[in-house]
Structure 1
Amino acid sequence: MNITQEKTGNLNAVVKIKIAPADYTEKVDKAIKDQAKKAQLPGFRKGMVPAAHIKKMYGKSILVEEVNSLLNDTLTNYIAEQKLEILGQPLPKMDDERDFKWDNTDEFEFDYELGLAPTFDVEITSKDKFIEYVVKADQETLEGRIKNIRRSYGKMSNPEVSAADDVLYSELTQLSPDGSVFEGGITSTATIRLDQIKDKKILKSLIGLKQDDEVVIDLQKALEDVAIISKALNISEEDAAELKSDFKLVVKNVNRLEESELNQEFFDKLFGEGTVTDEAGFRAKMTEEVESMFKQDADRKLSNDIYEQLLTKYNFELPDEFLRRWLKATNEKLTDEELAEGYDDFAKNLKWTLIENKIIKDNQIEIKYEDVVQAAKAKLDAQFRMYSPSPLPEDQLAQYAVQFLQEKENANRVFEEVKALKTFEQIKSIATLEQKEIAYDKFIELAKN
């Protein structure tokens, strides 16, 4: 067997593999004998089919299979032995002029194109500077969070007259343009949350209503969210997006979630017994919670700034034409238009992966199984806290995390998240971070740009 490599560009190469009969004959003969022992053919007892008969019937397909297997093993081993860092997978070059007989006497030659990873260095120093924003809780966001947490622990009541934050259990009936009931139209019973009403004029019309009161509303204008509208009317989101009709809303009941009192029982439920003893302590805890959520947003902003700055700093080339062909070869449904539109983002993410891998390798950063489990636990804990502020017991959370990671897709995703986190931590430990306080509304505007 003869293997050679020819560089066809800075980041491209062709590997040529020549296979002689001596390289595959023994493997083919063994495969034929093995199949003869297992074959069940008419006129022969099991295991007594002559090898010559198997060769005559299946010899060509066995030869093709063994040559392909030999090719794959040879190419994989060659790439590993030569320490070639490739992007994508090798692509076989098609040569219409080669016509093999497949009769066990052929000398085969196969060519494979390789896309090579670029060689570059990543050097993070204190000269790399980034702004680390410290987002402060504004009064509106803080009051909104306090209101929501108090309502989640509050009691349900049924007042006679609706107010701004109530929920109307209503009957909705589609109307014709002339205001009459649309024959065969949509009817539905739904809960309409007044805090979801976007139009101030419509909201005003829904305040002060009693049981059996009627109003006509434009749901599209009132809610502006096809998901909410489709759920309220029990129709598809596509139909909800096309909806133009007004609806008659008849109030069947007014529901109100009363806010919990700021007392010791409420504080103990939220934070544990005796942790908070007065309103000032409660508001301090809420401020801390809100600002911790802001910190996650600020961390994402910092990571994105690092990502963009380092991609600009290390703007190396990729074997673009090879990668485009590889993407088309491995994604049969990918159109030329989709490839043209998505390639730049693909290349950008691939460059970052190469930078990330370089930082991991150069700094000998380990990603242990325990790191992945801890990350899974944190992810699940955050999800559960969306429904209940009380944390899950540690043993139960650990059990959920292990179950979560048994799904290969989940495990791979969390592994990549841990890898990214460790990379950014390494960068931040060396680069210069300038802390800057900023109001939440200003930060939101900044993050949009």
Structure 2
Amino acid sequence: MNISKEQLDDLNAVVTVDIAKADYSDKVDSILKDYRKNANIPGFRKGHVPMGLVKKQYGKAVLVDEVNKLLQDALNKYLTEEKLDVLGNPLPKEQENFNWDADDYSFEFELGLAPKFEVKLNGKKAITHYKIVATDEMIDNQIKTIQKQYGKLISKDSAEKDDLINGTFVNEEKEIENQTTISLDKIKGKRNLDKFIGSKVGDVLTLKTKGLFTDDHDLMNALKVSHDEAHDLDIEVTFTISEINHQELADLDQDLFDKLYGKDTVKSVTELKEKIKQDADRQFVQQSDQQLLNDVTESVLENTKFDLPAEFLQKWIQATGEQPLTEDEAKDEYEKSEKGLRFQLIEGKIINDNNLQVTFDELKEFAKDLIKGQMAQFGQMSPEDKELEDIAARILSNQDEVKRISEQLMSQKLLAYYKENVKLKEKEVSFDDFVKEVYK
């Protein structure tokens, strides 16, 4: 057997595998002898079928199978030994007049090769690393939400500002009929609010949907319509009141603090605010870090330039798709996936060049930390190490879980690397300002 490579350019090559009769004949003969021993052919005793008949009936199939096995083993071994970094898989070239009746065979495979490049982490501008902080207003709103959640509902005869009104919205033309509870503090404008103030159970209010709520998403929930329908919806609806309640806020006392955080963990409103701020800041760190990963990804993609074997990859997509694709369809698929492939190559190079690979011991410790965090949410603050080891072992026996946790750990490693090596500028913002800047 002989294998050779023709380098067409930096990104494309053709590998030729020559297989001679001596490479496969012994194996084929051995398999056919086993077939002869076990063949059941009418007119012949088992084990006494003429070899010529066995070869005629099974020889070609056995030959093709064994040559293909040899071919794949040889090709994979060659790619590994030569350390060829290929994209996709080798594609067999079509060969005219190929003859399986010959003794010797020659197979050609097209290769798409990964490009050589240097990663450029930094562009002209520094990347913004947001530090999201919980404002006093946000903390106060959260406290009010908690007080509502743990407060009491007091039934009323007539509605006043900030009451909760239960009723049914109806519009026959749009087939809207939805029972819901609305808070009057979400009604927009004095004219709309005045229709509710003083209303009683059984009253039927006629309302315009446009500008009814301060947020169109509240209209979407109130009418049970789609997101797109809710925006700019301008119809008349009736609202039949079935219940009016005033929400009495829970007192900010030790009983409430203990319900929220456990006995004597928080002992004052000041400590409550600090606890809420700590929890919010912790969540904001995750959002900030995810945005940093996104921004670094875009920056590195923009600044790291290299070519890909596009023509080969389009042919590979066309040949390996679950369903047959035309050339144009394969080109479209390639264009959709090109950005992801580019970053996959960039990320792989960053990981390899900086030894950021995930080891099993790191994975196990990371899994144990995740488990401890989950157990803490249910009040188990100090689990024994053996219990953690057993749970981690069960989780890591599931390949899907291993993949998921490995990706989480790798994201943390990359994030730490970026924070050390990418030119960043920190910007302190409120959560609302963060949303405006990032999702503008």
Post-superposition offset of 1:12: 0.9
Contact 2:119 2:300 in 1 (8 A): no
Contact 1:127 1:431 in 2 (8 A): no
Post-superposition offset of 1:320: 1.8
Contact 2:315 2:330 in 1 (8 A): no
Contact 1:367 1:419 in 2 (8 A): yes
Post-superposition offset of 1:21: 1.9
**Secondary structure of 1:135 counterpart:** strand
The one-letter code sitting in structure 2 at the alignment partner of 1:191 is: T
Counterpart-to-counterpart distance in 2, 1:433 and 1:210 = 58
Contact 2:317 2:333 in 1 (8 A): no
| 1:271 and 2:269 matched | no
Post-superposition offset of 1:447: 1.6
Contact 1:175 1:246 in 2 (8 A): no
Q: TM-score, normalised by structure 2?
A: 0.78
Post-superposition offset of 1:278: 0.3
Structure 1 stretch 280-289 or stretch 330-339: which is displaced more?
A: 330-339
Contact 1:381 1:392 in 2 (8 A): no
| 1:446 and 2:437 matched | yes
Check 1:19–1:277 CA distance in 2 against 1; reply closer, same or farther (3 A cut): same
| 1:71 and 2:71 matched | yes
2:5 aligns with 5
Contact 1:214 1:249 in 2 (8 A): yes
Which of 349, 353, 361 is 1:362 aligned to? Answer: 353
Query: Any gaps of 5 or more consecutive residues in structure 2?
Result: none
Post-superposition offset of 1:244: 8.7
Check 1:64–1:275 CA distance in 2 against 1; reply closer, same or farther (3 A cut): same
Give per-residue Cα distances to partners, 1:296-345, cap 9 Å, x unaligned: 22222322332233333321222122222222322244676665556455
2:302 aligns with 312
Counterpart-to-counterpart distance in 1, 2:230 and 2:114 = 49
1:421 aligns with 412
Counterpart-to-counterpart distance in 2, 1:399 and 1:227 = 49
**Secondary structure of 1:112 counterpart:** strand
Check 1:23–1:291 CA distance in 2 against 1; reply closer, same or farther (3 A cut): same
**Secondary structure of 1:133 counterpart:** strand
| 1:190 and 2:179 matched | yes
Counterpart-to-counterpart distance in 2, 1:392 and 1:49 = 75
Q: TM-score, normalised by structure 1?
A: 0.77
Counterpart-to-counterpart distance in 2, 1:37 and 1:430 = 68
| 1:411 and 2:402 matched | yes
Contact 2:120 2:304 in 1 (8 A): no
Counterpart-to-counterpart distance in 2, 1:54 and 1:447 = 72
Alignment of 1:285-364 (within 5 A): 285-333=275-323, 343-344=334-335, 346-364=337-355
Contact 1:131 1:436 in 2 (8 A): yes
| 1:143 and 2:132 matched | no
Give per-residue Cα distances to partners, 1:381-425, cap 9 Å, x unaligned: 99x79xxx9446366998887666655444323322322321231
Query: Any gaps of 5 or more consecutive residues in structure 1?
Result: 177-184
**Secondary structure of 2:140 counterpart:** helix
1:111 aligns with 108
Contact 1:93 1:113 in 2 (8 A): yes
Counterpart-to-counterpart distance in 2, 1:45 and 1:196 = 93
Figure out how many residues of one structure are paired with residues of the other and give that number.
431
Contact 2:123 2:303 in 1 (8 A): no
Counterpart-to-counterpart distance in 2, 1:321 and 1:10 = 13
Post-superposition offset of 1:161: 4.5
Check 1:206–1:34 CA distance in 2 against 1; reply closer, same or farther (3 A cut): farther
Counterpart-to-counterpart distance in 1, 2:106 and 2:288 = 56
**Secondary structure of 2:60 counterpart:** helix
Alignment of 1:15-414 (within 5 A): 15-36=15-36, 52-95=52-95, 97-100=96-99, 102-103=100-101, 105-122=102-119, 129-155=126-152, 158-161=155-158, 168-176=165-173, 186=175, 190-194=179-183, 205=195, 209-216=199-206, 224=216, 247-254=237-244, 259-333=249-323, 343-344=334-335, 346-369=337-360, 371-372=362-363, 390-391=377-378, 393=380, 408-414=399-405
Counterpart-to-counterpart distance in 2, 1:419 and 1:44 = 64
Check 1:197–1:126 CA distance in 2 against 1; reply closer, same or farther (3 A cut): closer
Post-superposition offset of 1:80: 0.3
Post-superposition offset of 1:193: 4.3
The one-letter code sitting in structure 2 at the alignment partner of 1:132 is: H
Give per-residue Cα distances to partners, 1:104-144, cap 9 Å, x unaligned: x4422221111111123447799995443322223443333
Structure 1 stretch 152-161 or stretch 321-330: which is displaced more?
A: 152-161
Counterpart-to-counterpart distance in 1, 2:47 and 2:148 = 77
The one-letter code sitting in structure 2 at the alignment partner of 1:19 is: I
Check 1:371–1:2 CA distance in 2 against 1; reply closer, same or farther (3 A cut): same
Post-superposition offset of 1:33: 3.9
Contact 1:134 1:436 in 2 (8 A): yes
